[in-house]
A = this chain, B = another copy of it.
Amino acid sequence: MSQRVCFKLRINPEFVDEYKQRHAEVWPEMLTALSESGWTNYSLFVAPDGELIGYLECEDLAKSLELMGRAEVNTLWQASVAKFFVGLDGRAADEAIRPLEEVFHLV
């Protein structure tokens, strides 16, 4: 059974436009790495105040995160987007993912 995962992170509101621009042209190698690591139906939503909400479906989040953690392109990508985030305490954004509890689902 696949998992539905929702997480939230925070972007510096000053960088919201630049964050959006970067995510309109994600490196193809990064997209491939995500797909190969089992990330599907993956969306990022941004609120004007900088709150970032991610939603994805995967078979096993721990495994998908581990596979992305090993992908060289992800290390480069995370370094290139690190400046957008606040509150990561030195972690990469993907290391800071804490899934929220799903309390309802309708197929």
- Which residues from chain A sit less than 8 Å from chain B, CB to CB? 4, 6, 8, 19-20, 23-24, 26, 31, 34-35, 39-47, 51, 53, 55, 100-107
CB pair A100–B40 under 8 Å, yes or no, is: no
Q: How many copies of this protein are present in the complex?
A: 2
CB pair B55–A24 under 8 Å, yes or no, is: no
- The contact sample of 26 A-B pairs, CB cut-off 8 A, is A6-B43, A6-B45, A6-B55, A8-B47, A20-B101, A20-B103, A24-B103, A24-B104, A26-B104, A31-B106, A34-B106, A35-B106, A40-B106, A40-B107, A41-B106, A41-B107, A42-B104, A42-B105, A43-B105, A44-B103, A44-B105, A45-B101, A46-B101, A46-B103, A53-B53, A53-B100
